[in-house]
Amino acid sequence: MSQATECRVCGKPVSPSDSYCQHCGADLSNHSRLATITDRVPGMQPGSSLRNLGVGILYFLLTPLLFYLLPVFAAIAAFKNWRGIATRTAKLPGISAGGGAMSGIAAFVYLIALMGLVGAGVPADTASEPTAAPSTENETTPHETPSQTPIVTPAPTETSEPTDQSNQQSGTSQTATPVATQTATSTLTLTATASPTPNPVETQAQATPTPRPATPTPQPTTTATPDHRTGTITAITDGDTVDIRFADGSTDTLRLLGVDTPETYGDVNPDEFEGVPDTEAGRNCLETRAKDATEFTRSRLLGEEVTLSFDDNEGRRGSYDRLLVYVSVDGEPFNIQLVEQGYARVYDSQFERRSSFYDAEAAAQDAGIGVWDCRNVRTPTPTPESAPPNSGGTLEVASIHADAPGNDHENLNEEYITFDNTGSQAVDISGYVISDTADHEYTVPEGTTVGAGEQITLYTGSGANSADSLYWRSESAVWNNGGDTIIVEETSGEVVIERTYE
């Protein structure tokens, strides 16, 4: 007599002659290991087939996702008693042989607890260290956070996708929440041992660390120049170039924006100054005006505290690495004063204040002052060996006071020339023209006579003429401190005095 055997799927007794189980429909004709596996795997058919191969490959690819869904599958299988799983596990508390909702919940809790125990059993070398995101892409240790409970720390695989992991972990936590209120005593005990709802972001960071950007390498920076700075002028190079010392002790060289004075060092170029002839007389005149501009800048800026400002249309530094600036002293802009008083021309560029500078230059040109006075220079007449007598009188230069105390341009009456009549007769000098090589000219008023043995002084500034004093009424200094030539011509144009001093 045939002895009954047990169905490997549902566990119920079957006859050896049966091809299929009368209870669960399992194929009893092939009890090989493969048949047993295909009978028990959802989606597969008993026996071997291409479908089973495809389902197996799909399970392999979806293993990370299925791992986190395993408690859900277990709950569904127990609820429906799929393939007799509830019947076979009915010995466990909470699972009934026929399945049902309570069996599904109990199966879910058991799987969660099992996964937690497996995760807790993995050793962690950094158990005492606080949770931290991996510092490099190669540090991918998935169990660096011992404070996470078994629910939070399933063993991740290399093919897991962070997004799916986060979603599934979140879903797991939400499903686990009602267990505490519905499960019997044993179930409550299991739930109580689990940690609070896991943080999906933390688990994702452990499974697949988010690369952190490396600490940026400090780049060399250039200290930006503020829009306004103050400092003290320490040296004057020429009319448009000075040195400054800032409050922090640093120093720099300044090039005044928008202006160009004649060169003090090196050759002057008359072509840069409109209307000035490119002759020796023109160059000599510009060299004299270069010294005048330097003296003017020195008298106004040297030792003074000034404020610097910059121009958005110009770079902060020029080709010689000098700061390109506007300078103000006592609240008054200095650059444009050089143009207004004829010490400089406008440097042709796109600086913002160029319109007012060009207006100032036009006014200085019309007045013929400063460098623009050099447009009318001429070569002096050669000096005769001896000056002709004038009715027995002889006019000579007695003294020259070209260097006035302080700023020559502000102390004009301290710049003067004294003439002496060394003859025996009075000399009528009415209409005489007194000039220098830069073609500054003064015409002696009518009725001016220098008596025998007497002197008369010509002052550069303003005042009332008298028998012994004449006033040029010039707006700026005439006689160059570093050397010049005094030329005196009669009304006929004949030179009676030509005196050069150094």
Q: How many CB atoms lie within 10 A of CB 347?
A: 19
34 found inside a domain: no
- Asked whether residue 138 carries a pLDDT value surpassing 90, the answer given is no
Quote the pLDDT of residue 9: 67
Mean pLDDT of 199-213: 46
Residues 178 and 240 reside in one and the same domain: no
Residues 410 and 363 reside in one and the same domain: no
Q: Tokens standing for 158?
A: 């290399």
pLDDT in tens, 290-349: 999 999 999 999 999 999 999 999 989 998 899 999 999 999 999 999 999 999 999 989
State the residue for tokens 């799909």.
Answer: 58
Cα Rg for the chain, rounded, in angstroms?
Answer: 54
Is the pLDDT higher at 218 or at 366? 366
283 found inside a domain: yes
130 vs 133: CA distance, rounded Å:
10
Q: Which domain holds residue 495?
A: 395-501
**Global pTM value:** 0.37
Residues making up the chain, counted from first to last: 502
**Number of independent structural domains in the chain:** 3
- Which of 61-65, 68-72, 124-128, 199-203 holds the top average pLDDT? 68-72
389 found inside a domain: no
Comparing CA positions, the residue from 202, 185, 105, 188 lying closest to residue 148 is 202
94 found inside a domain: yes
443 found inside a domain: yes
Comparing CA positions, the residue from 347, 343, 334 lying closest to residue 308 is 334
2 found inside a domain: no
Q: What beta strand segments (E) does 7-56 contain?
A: 13-14
Cβ atoms of 273 and 343 within 8 Å: the answer is no
Which of 160, 177, 207 terminates a domain? The answer is: 207
Residues 365 and 403 reside in one and the same domain: no
pLDDT in tens, 416-437: 999 999 988 999 999 999 999 8
Mean pLDDT of 230-246: 96
- Asked whether residue 262 carries a pLDDT value surpassing 90, the answer given is yes
